C-alpha cells in the first residue's frame, strides 16, 4: 500500500489537485504494480513563508 506525501506551495486549485492525484496514482500503478485503490496520496499545502531554499524564504523571492 504505497502512501505518497507531497508538499506544495499553497494556491493550487482543486481541479489541479484532482488531476495531479489521478496522474500520480496512474504512474504508481504502472510502475509498482499496485492497485489504484491501495494508493494513498497526502497533499500538504505550505505557505511560501514556511519554506526556504538556499537560506532564503520563498516569500522573499
pLDDT digits (tens, 9 = 90+) for 9-42: 999 999 999 999 999 999 999 999 999 999 999 9
* Segments making up each domain of the chain, as ranges: 3-60
In sequence order, the β-bridge partners of residue 45 are 8
Question: Which residue in this structure is represented by grid cell 505557505?
Answer: 47
- pLDDT score, position 21: 98
pTM to 2 decimals?
0.89
Please state the φ and ψ torsions of residue 35, each to the nearest 5 degrees: -85, 155
2 is catalytic: yes
36 Cβ contact partners less than 8 Å away, ≥ 6 residues apart: 25, 26, 29
Give the HSE-up count for residue 2: Cα atoms under 13 Å, Cβ half-sphere. Answer: 18
Q: Is 14 helix (H, G, I), strand (E, B) or coil?
A: helix
Catalytic position from the list 1, 2, 42, 61 = 2
pLDDT at 54 over 90: yes
pLDDT at 1 over 90: no
The CATH superfamily label for domain 3-60 reads Macrophage Migration Inhibitory Factor (3.30.429.10)
Amino acid at each position: 500500500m504505497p502512501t505518497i506525501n507531497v508538499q506544495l506551495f499553497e494556491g493550487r486549485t482543486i481541479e489541479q489537485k484532482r488531476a495531479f492525484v489521478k496522474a500520480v496514482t496512474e504512474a504508481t500503478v504502472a510502475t509498482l504494480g499496485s492497485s489504484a485503490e491501495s494508493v494513498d496520496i497526502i497533499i500538504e499545502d505550505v505557505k511560501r513563508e514556511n519554506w526556504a531554499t538556499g537560506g532564503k524564504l520563498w516569500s522573499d523571492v
